[in-house]
Protein backbone atom coordinates (compact mmCIF):
# COMPACT_ATOMS: atom_id res chain seq x y z
CA UNK A 1 0.00 0.00 0.00
CA UNK A 2 1.32 3.44 -0.91
CA UNK A 3 2.11 5.55 2.16
CA UNK A 4 0.65 8.87 3.29
CA UNK A 5 2.94 11.89 3.44
CA UNK A 6 2.14 14.54 6.05
CA UNK A 7 3.88 17.92 5.71
CA UNK A 8 3.91 20.05 8.86
CA UNK A 9 5.93 21.44 11.72
CA UNK A 10 6.62 18.71 14.24
CA UNK A 11 7.78 18.31 17.86
CA UNK A 12 9.98 19.04 19.67
CA UNK A 13 9.24 22.45 18.12
CA UNK A 14 6.91 24.44 20.38
CA UNK A 15 4.17 24.90 17.82
CA UNK A 16 0.41 24.45 18.05
CA UNK A 17 0.26 23.14 14.47
CA UNK A 18 2.92 20.56 15.33
CA UNK A 19 0.98 19.41 18.38
CA UNK A 20 -2.21 19.24 16.31
CA UNK A 21 -0.47 17.20 13.62
CA UNK A 22 1.01 14.81 16.16
CA UNK A 23 -2.50 13.86 17.30
CA UNK A 24 -3.85 13.82 13.74
CA UNK A 25 -1.15 11.37 12.63
CA UNK A 26 -1.83 9.13 15.63
CA UNK A 27 -5.45 8.72 14.57
CA UNK A 28 -4.69 8.53 10.84
CA UNK A 29 -2.42 5.59 11.65
CA UNK A 30 -5.18 4.06 13.73
CA UNK A 31 -7.72 4.34 10.87
CA UNK A 32 -5.27 3.57 8.05
CA UNK A 33 -3.15 0.83 9.72
CA UNK A 34 -2.15 -0.69 6.38
CA UNK A 35 -0.37 2.49 5.28
CA UNK A 36 2.84 4.01 6.57
CA UNK A 37 2.73 7.71 7.41
CA UNK A 38 5.85 9.76 6.63
CA UNK A 39 6.19 13.24 8.13
CA UNK A 40 8.14 15.86 6.20
CA UNK A 41 8.94 18.51 8.78
CA UNK A 42 11.15 21.52 9.31
CA UNK A 43 14.77 20.77 10.16
CA UNK A 44 14.06 20.68 13.92
CA UNK A 45 11.57 17.79 13.70
CA UNK A 46 12.38 14.43 15.29
CA UNK A 47 10.76 11.00 15.52
CA UNK A 48 9.72 7.82 13.75
CA UNK A 49 9.37 8.24 9.97
CA UNK A 50 10.10 11.97 10.36
CA UNK A 51 12.12 13.58 7.56
CA UNK A 52 13.44 16.96 8.82
CA UNK A 53 13.88 18.52 5.40
CA UNK A 54 12.12 21.92 5.27
CA UNK A 55 14.89 24.53 5.55
CA UNK A 56 13.47 28.03 5.25
CA UNK A 57 16.95 29.52 5.01
CA UNK A 58 16.87 28.24 1.44
CA UNK A 59 14.55 30.22 -0.90
CA UNK A 60 14.06 27.03 -2.95
CA UNK A 61 13.32 24.87 0.09
CA UNK A 62 10.42 23.25 -1.73
CA UNK A 63 12.63 21.50 -4.29
CA UNK A 64 14.17 18.90 -1.93
CA UNK A 65 10.72 18.45 -0.36
CA UNK A 66 9.19 17.66 -3.76
CA UNK A 67 12.07 15.30 -4.56
CA UNK A 68 11.57 13.41 -1.30
CA UNK A 69 7.85 13.10 -1.99
CA UNK A 70 8.57 11.61 -5.41
CA UNK A 71 10.98 9.13 -3.78
CA UNK A 72 8.33 8.05 -1.25
CA UNK A 73 5.67 7.71 -4.01
CA UNK A 74 2.70 8.43 -1.75
CA UNK A 75 -1.00 7.65 -2.01
CA UNK A 76 -1.72 11.18 -0.82
CA UNK A 77 0.13 14.25 0.43
CA UNK A 78 -1.63 15.93 3.36
CA UNK A 79 -0.27 19.38 4.21
CA UNK A 80 -0.92 21.39 7.36
CA UNK A 81 -0.75 25.07 6.42
CA UNK A 82 -0.18 28.20 8.42
CA UNK A 83 1.48 31.19 6.77
CA UNK A 84 4.45 31.38 9.15
CA UNK A 85 5.40 27.73 8.58
CA UNK A 86 6.40 28.24 4.94
CA UNK A 87 7.34 31.91 4.71
CA UNK A 88 10.88 32.41 3.38
CA UNK A 89 12.39 35.70 4.63
CA UNK A 90 15.24 37.22 2.62
CA UNK A 91 18.33 39.04 3.89
CA UNK A 92 16.44 42.35 3.79
CA UNK A 93 13.72 40.98 6.08
CA UNK A 94 11.04 40.64 3.39
CA UNK A 95 8.91 37.49 3.21
CA UNK A 96 7.80 35.75 0.03
CA UNK A 97 4.25 35.33 1.36
CA UNK A 98 4.33 31.58 0.79
CA UNK A 99 5.43 31.74 -2.85
CA UNK A 100 7.58 28.67 -2.19
CA UNK A 101 4.60 26.82 -0.78
CA UNK A 102 2.64 27.50 -3.97
CA UNK A 103 5.62 26.26 -5.98
CA UNK A 104 5.51 23.01 -4.02
CA UNK A 105 1.83 22.60 -4.93
CA UNK A 106 2.66 23.22 -8.59
CA UNK A 107 5.34 20.53 -8.43
CA UNK A 108 2.84 18.05 -6.98
CA UNK A 109 0.17 18.93 -9.52
CA UNK A 110 2.59 18.54 -12.43
CA UNK A 111 3.55 15.09 -11.19
CA UNK A 112 -0.04 13.96 -10.66
CA UNK A 113 0.32 13.59 -6.87
CA UNK A 114 -2.94 14.25 -4.96
CA UNK A 115 -2.59 17.07 -2.42
CA UNK A 116 -4.97 17.65 0.50
CA UNK A 117 -4.33 21.04 2.13
CA UNK A 118 -5.55 21.84 5.65
CA UNK A 119 -5.18 25.61 6.22
CA UNK A 120 -5.33 26.67 9.88
CA UNK A 121 -5.77 30.39 9.24
CA UNK A 122 -8.75 31.35 7.11
CA UNK A 123 -10.24 34.52 8.53
CA UNK A 124 -13.77 35.62 7.69
CA UNK A 125 -12.52 39.00 6.50
CA UNK A 126 -9.33 38.41 4.54
CA UNK A 127 -6.46 40.74 3.78
CA UNK A 128 -5.67 41.21 0.09
CA UNK A 129 -2.60 38.96 0.31
CA UNK A 130 -4.70 36.22 1.94
CA UNK A 131 -7.38 36.50 -0.75
CA UNK A 132 -4.80 36.06 -3.48
CA UNK A 133 -3.07 33.19 -1.69
CA UNK A 134 -6.29 31.26 -1.06
CA UNK A 135 -7.39 31.74 -4.67
CA UNK A 136 -4.09 30.32 -5.94
CA UNK A 137 -3.84 27.60 -3.29
CA UNK A 138 -7.35 26.24 -3.91
CA UNK A 139 -6.68 26.12 -7.66
CA UNK A 140 -3.53 24.02 -7.13
CA UNK A 141 -4.74 21.71 -4.34
CA UNK A 142 -6.84 18.64 -5.04
CA UNK A 143 -8.95 18.99 -1.87
CA UNK A 144 -8.89 21.80 0.70
CA UNK A 145 -10.04 21.21 4.29
CA UNK A 146 -11.57 24.21 6.06
CA UNK A 147 -12.33 23.91 9.77
CA UNK A 148 -15.78 25.50 9.83
CA UNK A 149 -18.69 26.15 7.47
CA UNK A 150 -18.65 29.92 8.04
CA UNK A 151 -15.17 30.06 6.48
CA UNK A 152 -16.46 28.60 3.23
CA UNK A 153 -19.60 30.66 2.83
CA UNK A 154 -17.78 33.85 3.85
CA UNK A 155 -15.17 33.04 1.19
CA UNK A 156 -17.97 32.75 -1.38
CA UNK A 157 -19.05 36.29 -0.48
CA UNK A 158 -15.44 37.57 -0.72
CA UNK A 159 -14.74 35.91 -4.05
CA UNK A 160 -18.04 36.97 -5.60
CA UNK A 161 -17.33 40.60 -4.75
CA UNK A 162 -14.18 40.33 -6.89
CA UNK A 163 -15.82 38.42 -9.70
CA UNK A 164 -13.79 35.28 -8.91
CA UNK A 165 -15.18 31.78 -9.24
CA UNK A 166 -15.77 30.08 -5.89
CA UNK A 167 -13.55 26.98 -5.41
CA UNK A 168 -15.58 23.76 -5.49
CA UNK A 169 -13.00 21.56 -3.76
CA UNK A 170 -13.46 22.84 -0.18
CA UNK A 171 -14.57 20.26 2.38
CA UNK A 172 -15.43 21.01 6.02
CA UNK A 173 -13.45 18.95 8.54
CA UNK A 174 -13.43 20.34 12.10
CA UNK A 175 -10.48 20.59 14.45
CA UNK A 176 -10.12 17.13 15.99
CA UNK A 177 -10.37 16.46 19.73
CA UNK A 178 -9.34 13.34 21.63
CA UNK A 179 -12.19 11.05 22.73
CA UNK A 180 -9.98 9.14 25.19
CA UNK A 181 -8.76 11.67 27.75
CA UNK A 182 -11.78 12.25 29.97
CA UNK A 183 -11.41 11.88 33.74
CA UNK A 184 -14.12 11.13 36.28
CA UNK A 185 -14.65 13.49 39.25
CA UNK A 186 -13.30 10.73 41.51
CA UNK A 187 -9.95 10.85 39.67
CA UNK A 188 -9.44 14.58 40.00
CA UNK A 189 -8.03 14.67 43.59
CA UNK A 190 -5.33 12.16 42.63
CA UNK A 191 -4.52 14.19 39.50
CA UNK A 192 -4.05 17.28 41.65
CA UNK A 193 -1.63 15.38 43.89
CA UNK A 194 0.22 13.96 40.88
CA UNK A 195 0.76 17.49 39.56
CA UNK A 196 1.98 18.71 42.95
CA UNK A 197 -1.16 20.83 43.47
CA UNK A 198 -2.31 19.32 46.76
CA UNK A 199 -3.47 22.75 47.91
CA UNK A 200 -6.36 22.47 45.45
CA UNK A 201 -7.52 18.96 46.42
CA UNK A 202 -10.67 20.22 48.14
CA UNK A 203 -11.00 23.46 46.20
CA UNK A 204 -12.94 24.64 43.18
CA UNK A 205 -10.66 25.77 40.35
CA UNK A 206 -11.04 28.12 37.37
CA UNK A 207 -8.41 27.47 34.70
CA UNK A 208 -6.40 29.72 32.39
CA UNK A 209 -4.45 27.06 30.49
CA UNK A 210 -2.26 26.96 27.38
CA UNK A 211 0.51 28.81 25.59
CA UNK A 212 1.19 32.25 27.04
CA UNK A 213 1.41 34.95 24.37
CA UNK A 214 0.14 38.43 23.62
CA UNK A 215 -3.13 37.38 21.99
CA UNK A 216 -4.11 35.05 24.88
CA UNK A 217 -5.21 37.87 27.13
CA UNK A 218 -4.74 36.44 30.62
CA UNK A 219 -4.79 39.98 32.04
CA UNK A 220 -8.48 40.24 31.13
CA UNK A 221 -9.17 37.61 33.80
CA UNK A 222 -6.45 38.34 36.36
CA UNK A 223 -7.52 41.98 36.45
CA UNK A 224 -10.98 41.08 37.80
CA UNK A 225 -10.24 37.86 39.67
CA UNK A 226 -9.96 39.31 43.19
CA UNK A 227 -13.40 40.90 42.82
CA UNK A 228 -14.87 37.72 41.30
CA UNK A 229 -13.51 35.46 44.02
CA UNK A 230 -15.09 37.72 46.65
CA UNK A 231 -18.45 37.84 44.85
CA UNK A 232 -18.56 34.06 44.36
CA UNK A 233 -17.85 33.43 48.04
CA UNK A 234 -20.51 35.92 49.07
CA UNK A 235 -23.05 34.23 46.77
CA UNK A 236 -22.48 30.53 47.61
CA UNK A 237 -19.94 30.42 50.44
CA UNK A 238 -17.26 28.61 48.38
CA UNK A 239 -13.63 29.56 47.93
CA UNK A 240 -12.65 29.42 44.25
CA UNK A 241 -9.07 29.63 43.02
CA UNK A 242 -7.54 30.68 39.72
CA UNK A 243 -5.05 28.23 38.20
CA UNK A 244 -2.98 29.89 35.46
CA UNK A 245 -0.92 27.20 33.74
CA UNK A 246 1.28 27.12 30.65
CA UNK A 247 4.53 28.35 29.15
CA UNK A 248 5.89 30.81 26.63
CA UNK A 249 6.14 29.65 23.01
CA UNK A 250 7.44 32.67 21.10
CA UNK A 251 10.35 34.71 22.55
CA UNK A 252 8.85 37.81 20.93
CA UNK A 253 6.13 37.61 23.57
CA UNK A 254 8.54 37.62 26.54
CA UNK A 255 7.30 40.98 27.86
CA UNK A 256 3.66 39.87 27.79
CA UNK A 257 4.58 36.53 29.40
CA UNK A 258 6.37 38.26 32.27
CA UNK A 259 3.52 40.71 32.76
CA UNK A 260 0.82 38.02 32.79
CA UNK A 261 2.78 35.79 35.17
CA UNK A 262 3.52 38.73 37.48
CA UNK A 263 -0.22 39.44 37.71
CA UNK A 264 -0.89 35.81 38.67
CA UNK A 265 1.86 35.81 41.29
CA UNK A 266 0.45 38.99 42.80
CA UNK A 267 -2.88 37.18 43.24
CA UNK A 268 -1.02 34.15 44.53
CA UNK A 269 0.47 36.26 47.30
CA UNK A 270 -3.11 36.98 48.41
CA UNK A 271 -4.02 33.28 48.38
CA UNK A 272 -6.29 33.66 45.34
CA UNK A 273 -4.36 32.06 42.48
CA UNK A 274 -1.41 29.89 41.49
CA UNK A 275 0.94 29.77 38.50
CA UNK A 276 1.88 26.31 37.22
CA UNK A 277 4.54 26.26 34.52
CA UNK A 278 4.44 23.40 32.02
CA UNK A 279 4.77 22.82 28.28
CA UNK A 280 1.23 22.46 26.85
CA UNK A 281 1.71 19.18 25.01
CA UNK A 282 0.94 15.51 25.63
CA UNK A 283 -0.87 13.93 28.56
CA UNK A 284 0.03 16.62 31.08
CA UNK A 285 -1.94 19.16 29.03
CA UNK A 286 -5.10 17.11 29.56
CA UNK A 287 -4.35 16.47 33.24
CA UNK A 288 -3.99 20.18 33.98
CA UNK A 289 -7.27 20.90 32.19
CA UNK A 290 -8.98 18.02 34.00
CA UNK A 291 -8.46 19.47 37.47
CA UNK A 292 -10.35 22.67 36.54
CA UNK A 293 -14.09 22.99 37.12
CA UNK A 294 -14.32 25.28 34.12
CA UNK A 295 -11.96 27.11 31.76
CA UNK A 296 -11.73 30.75 30.70
CA UNK A 297 -10.26 31.16 27.22
CA UNK A 298 -9.74 34.87 26.48
CA UNK A 299 -8.23 35.46 23.06
CA UNK A 300 -7.92 38.23 20.50
CA UNK A 301 -7.17 36.38 17.28
CA UNK A 302 -8.22 32.79 16.69
CA UNK A 303 -9.81 30.96 13.79
CA UNK A 304 -9.31 27.62 15.48
CA UNK A 305 -7.92 26.75 18.85
CA UNK A 306 -5.96 23.75 20.10
CA UNK A 307 -6.79 24.87 23.63
CA UNK A 308 -10.51 24.73 22.87
CA UNK A 309 -10.07 21.26 21.35
CA UNK A 310 -8.72 20.05 24.68
CA UNK A 311 -11.50 21.78 26.58
CA UNK A 312 -13.98 19.89 24.39
CA UNK A 313 -12.06 16.62 24.79
CA UNK A 314 -12.46 16.89 28.57
CA UNK A 315 -16.07 18.15 28.39
CA UNK A 316 -15.15 21.20 30.46
CA UNK A 317 -17.62 24.08 30.41
CA UNK A 318 -15.88 27.26 29.36
CA UNK A 319 -16.07 31.00 28.78
CA UNK A 320 -14.54 32.53 25.66
CA UNK A 321 -14.41 35.70 23.58
CA UNK A 322 -17.04 36.70 21.01
CA UNK A 323 -17.42 37.45 18.19
CA UNK A 324 -14.22 35.64 17.33
CA UNK A 325 -14.26 33.33 14.35
CA UNK A 326 -13.74 29.65 15.25
CA UNK A 327 -14.13 30.13 19.01
CA UNK A 328 -17.60 31.59 18.57
CA UNK A 329 -18.49 29.13 15.81
CA UNK A 330 -17.72 26.06 17.92
CA UNK A 331 -19.42 27.53 20.97
CA UNK A 332 -22.62 28.02 18.97
CA UNK A 333 -22.38 24.55 17.43
CA UNK A 334 -21.60 22.68 20.64
CA UNK A 335 -23.69 24.71 23.11
CA UNK A 336 -20.95 23.89 25.57
CA UNK A 337 -19.68 27.32 26.57
CA UNK A 338 -20.60 30.92 27.36
CA UNK A 339 -19.50 33.94 25.34
CA UNK A 340 -18.40 37.37 26.53
CA UNK A 341 -17.89 40.63 24.68
CA UNK A 342 -16.87 43.04 27.46
CA UNK A 343 -15.94 43.05 31.13
CA UNK A 344 -19.56 43.03 32.27
CA UNK A 345 -20.48 39.93 30.26
CA UNK A 346 -17.22 38.22 31.28
CA UNK A 347 -18.04 38.75 34.95
CA UNK A 348 -21.59 37.53 34.37
CA UNK A 349 -20.37 34.35 32.66
CA UNK A 350 -17.83 33.56 35.39
CA UNK A 351 -20.45 34.08 38.10
CA UNK A 352 -22.93 31.90 36.23
CA UNK A 353 -20.55 28.95 35.93
CA UNK A 354 -19.04 29.29 39.41
CA UNK A 355 -22.37 29.52 41.24
CA UNK A 356 -24.46 27.02 39.24
CA UNK A 357 -23.22 23.43 39.24
CA UNK A 358 -26.25 22.38 37.21
CA UNK A 359 -25.24 24.79 34.45
CA UNK A 360 -21.72 23.33 34.42
CA UNK A 361 -23.18 19.83 34.18
CA UNK A 362 -25.50 20.83 31.32
CA UNK A 363 -22.73 22.44 29.26
CA UNK A 364 -20.40 19.51 29.93
CA UNK A 365 -23.05 17.09 28.65
CA UNK A 366 -23.48 19.15 25.48
CA UNK A 367 -19.72 19.03 24.93
CA UNK A 368 -19.68 15.25 25.35
CA UNK A 369 -22.28 14.82 22.60
CA UNK A 370 -20.50 17.32 20.35
CA UNK A 371 -17.21 15.52 20.92
CA UNK A 372 -18.48 12.04 20.15
CA UNK A 373 -20.65 12.97 17.15
CA UNK A 374 -18.75 15.81 15.48
CA UNK A 375 -15.14 16.50 16.48
CA UNK A 376 -13.73 13.27 17.89
CA UNK A 377 -10.47 12.37 16.16
CA UNK A 378 -12.12 9.07 15.26
CA UNK A 379 -14.78 11.01 13.31
CA UNK A 380 -12.22 13.38 11.80
CA UNK A 381 -9.90 10.55 10.74
CA UNK A 382 -12.74 9.00 8.75
CA UNK A 383 -13.37 12.38 7.12
CA UNK A 384 -9.68 12.53 6.22
CA UNK A 385 -10.07 9.11 4.57
CA UNK A 386 -13.02 10.45 2.55
CA UNK A 387 -10.94 13.42 1.45
CA UNK A 388 -8.06 11.13 0.47
CA UNK A 389 -10.35 8.90 -1.60
CA UNK A 390 -11.85 11.96 -3.28
CA UNK A 391 -8.44 13.44 -4.07
CA UNK A 392 -7.04 10.12 -5.33
CA UNK A 393 -10.04 9.55 -7.60
CA UNK A 394 -9.90 13.12 -8.94
CA UNK A 395 -6.27 12.74 -10.00
CA UNK A 396 -6.76 9.26 -11.46
CA UNK A 397 -9.89 10.22 -13.39
CA UNK A 398 -8.69 13.66 -14.40
CA UNK A 399 -11.89 15.21 -13.02
CA UNK A 400 -11.86 18.06 -10.47
CA UNK A 401 -13.50 17.59 -7.08
CA UNK A 402 -17.00 19.08 -6.63
CA UNK A 403 -18.25 19.31 -3.04
CA UNK A 404 -21.68 20.51 -1.95
CA UNK A 405 -21.55 23.84 -0.10
CA UNK A 406 -24.31 25.20 2.09
CA UNK A 407 -25.24 28.90 2.16
CA UNK A 408 -23.99 29.51 -1.38
CA UNK A 409 -25.97 30.19 -4.54
CA UNK A 410 -24.29 27.29 -6.34
CA UNK A 411 -24.88 24.00 -4.51
CA UNK A 412 -22.23 22.36 -6.70
CA UNK A 413 -23.36 18.76 -6.25
CA UNK A 414 -26.28 16.82 -4.76
CA UNK A 415 -23.70 14.96 -2.63
CA UNK A 416 -23.33 16.43 0.84
CA UNK A 417 -19.75 17.09 1.98
CA UNK A 418 -18.51 14.27 4.22
CA UNK A 419 -17.29 16.98 6.56
CA UNK A 420 -20.79 18.29 7.29
CA UNK A 421 -21.47 16.04 10.24
CA UNK A 422 -24.93 16.28 11.79
CA UNK A 423 -25.22 17.10 15.48
Q: What is the pLDDT of residues 44-99, one digit of tens each?
A: 999 999 999 999 999 999 999 999 999 999 999 999 999 999 999 999 999 999 99
Whether residues 158 and 227 fall in one domain: no
Q: What is the mean pLDDT of residues 2-25?
A: 95
Quick one: pLDDT band at residue 29, thresholds 50, 70, 90?
Answer: very high
pLDDT at position 416 is: 43
Cis peptide bond N-terminal to 346, omega within 30: no
Whether residues 217 and 151 fall in one domain: no
pLDDT at position 417 is: 44
**Residue 408 resides in a domain:** no
Specify the higher pLDDT residue, 5 or 406.
Answer: 5
Instruction: Give per-residue pLDDT as tens, 112-162.
Output: 999 999 999 999 889 999 999 999 999 999 999 999 999 999 999 999 999
Q: Let me know the angle formed at the C-alpha of 302 by 338 and 277, rounded to the nearest 5 degrees.
A: 85
Whether residues 38 and 93 fall in one domain: yes
Residue 421 in this model has a pLDDT that exceeds 50 = no
Residue % of the chain over a pLDDT of 90: 88
Return the axis-axis angle of helices 283-290 and 306-313, rounded to nearest 10°. Answer: 60
**Residue 134 resides in a domain:** yes
pLDDT at position 409 is: 54
Residue 414 in this model has a pLDDT that exceeds 60 = no
Whether residues 206 and 150 fall in one domain: no
Quick one: pLDDT band at residue 407, thresholds 50, 70, 90?
Answer: low
Q: Are 104 and 66 in contact (CB under 8 A)?
A: yes
**Residue 343 resides in a domain:** yes
Whether residues 337 and 386 fall in one domain: no
Distances from the Cα of 123 to the Cα of 170, 304, 395, angstroms: 15, 10, 29
Residue 26 in this model has a pLDDT that exceeds 70 = yes
Residue 412 in this model has a pLDDT that exceeds 90 = no
Whether residues 137 and 220 fall in one domain: no
pLDDT at position 215 is: 85
CATH number for the domain spanning 287: value is: 3.40.50.2000
Whether residues 10 and 125 fall in one domain: yes
Expressed as residue numbers, the domain containing 231 is 185-375
Q: H helices within 141-253, ranges in order?
A: 149-161, 188-194, 219-236
Whether residues 63 and 109 fall in one domain: yes
Whether residues 255 and 290 fall in one domain: yes
Summary count for the chain: helices (H), strands (E): 14, 13
Instruction: Give per-residue pLDDT as tens, 158-182.
Output: 999 999 999 999 999 999 999 999 9
Q: What is the mean pLDDT of residues 387-397?
A: 97
Whether residues 250 and 282 fall in one domain: yes
Quote the CA–CA distance of 423 and 420 in Å, as a whole number: 9
pLDDT at position 368 is: 98
How do 115-119 and 143-146 pair as beta strands?
parallel
pLDDT at position 223 is: 96
What is the pTM (predicted TM-score) of this model? 0.92
Whether residues 151 and 198 fall in one domain: no
**Residue 415 resides in a domain:** no
**Residue 15 resides in a domain:** yes
Q: Could you give the count of Cα atoms lying within 13 Å of 255 in the half-sphere of its Cβ?
A: 1
Q: What is the mean pLDDT of residues 181-193?
A: 96
Give Cβ neighbours of residue 81 (< 8 Å, ≥ 6 apart).
101, 117, 118, 119, 120, 121, 137
Residue 250 in this model has a pLDDT that exceeds 50 = yes
CB atoms within 10 A of CB 204: 16
Instruction: Give per-residue pLDDT as tens, 31-44.
Output: 999 999 999 999 99
**Residue 423 resides in a domain:** no
**Residue 409 resides in a domain:** no
* Mean pLDDT for the chain overall: 93
Residue % of the chain over a pLDDT of 70: 96
**Residue 413 resides in a domain:** no
3-class secondary structure, 20? helix
Whether residues 364 and 233 fall in one domain: yes
- For the chain, how many structural domains are there in total? 2
Residue 349 in this model has a pLDDT that exceeds 60 = yes
Amino acid sequence: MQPIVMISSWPPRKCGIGTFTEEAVEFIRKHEPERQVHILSHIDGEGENVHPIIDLKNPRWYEPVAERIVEINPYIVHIQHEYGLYNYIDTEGFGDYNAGFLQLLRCLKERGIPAVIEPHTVHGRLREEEENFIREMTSLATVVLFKASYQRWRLAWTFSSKGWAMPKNIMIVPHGARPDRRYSPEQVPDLKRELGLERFVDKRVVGLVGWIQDNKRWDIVTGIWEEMQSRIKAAIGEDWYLLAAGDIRDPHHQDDYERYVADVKLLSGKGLAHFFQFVPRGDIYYKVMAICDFIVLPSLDETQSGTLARVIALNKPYVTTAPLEGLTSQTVESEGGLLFTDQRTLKRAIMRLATDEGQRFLLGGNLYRYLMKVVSWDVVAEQYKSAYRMADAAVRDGEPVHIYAEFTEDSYSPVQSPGAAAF
